[in-house]
Amino acid sequence: MKTRTLGPNGPTVSALGLGCMGMSAFYGARDDEESLKTLNRALELGVSFWDTSDMYGPHTNERLLARVLDGRRDEVYLATKFGIKLDPADPRKRSIDGTPADDYRRFSPRFEGENFEKNLTVVDAVKDLADDKGVTPSQLALAWVMAQGEHVVPIPGTKRVRYLEENAAAAEIELAPE
């Protein structure tokens, strides 16, 4: 696996990260055995930059990763974030709850109406470009993100070995500047 430096003086990590949220929450039922296989395969492939959070589960994601990292913690850099419990008296809470139902922050117009149709034409174009290169659309998208700069590290999430392997292969794709 190729590596990159995070920021001008940061640590060296894999050119592609692994988002672990789906292993514990949000995307269907948990499958710890499959997730453990994926995490171990990530280590084998040299994917050394993982993203987790205390809110994934909650806390079950961190426990899952601990099962794999026991005795191997020095092989992985963990990106994380901490949940913030908003107090009802906090103005941030009131401002979110107080926005009108039609406020643009409550929905994304990118996936509504005619924009959705425009997005589908982009999807078709990406599929065509990917076919021309003999890669999947996901691999092409990840390769494009990595091509945006030497300090850019995409962190696609998956709990499945086959998608991890597909994603990792994107680090080898070379794109022309145009």
Task: Check 27, 56, 77, 104 and give the catalytic one.
Answer: 56
Catalytic annotation on 56? yes
DSSP state, residue 120: H
Contacts of 25 (CB under 8 A, 6+ apart): 55, 56, 57, 60, 61
Between CA 62 and CA 80 the distance in angstroms is 10
Do 55 and 80 touch, CB atoms closer than 8 A? no
Between CA 7 and CA 18 the distance in angstroms is 18
CA distances from 14 to 67, 68, 146 (A): 21, 18, 11
Q: Side chain identity at 149, as an amino acid letter?
A: G
Active-site amino acid positions: 56
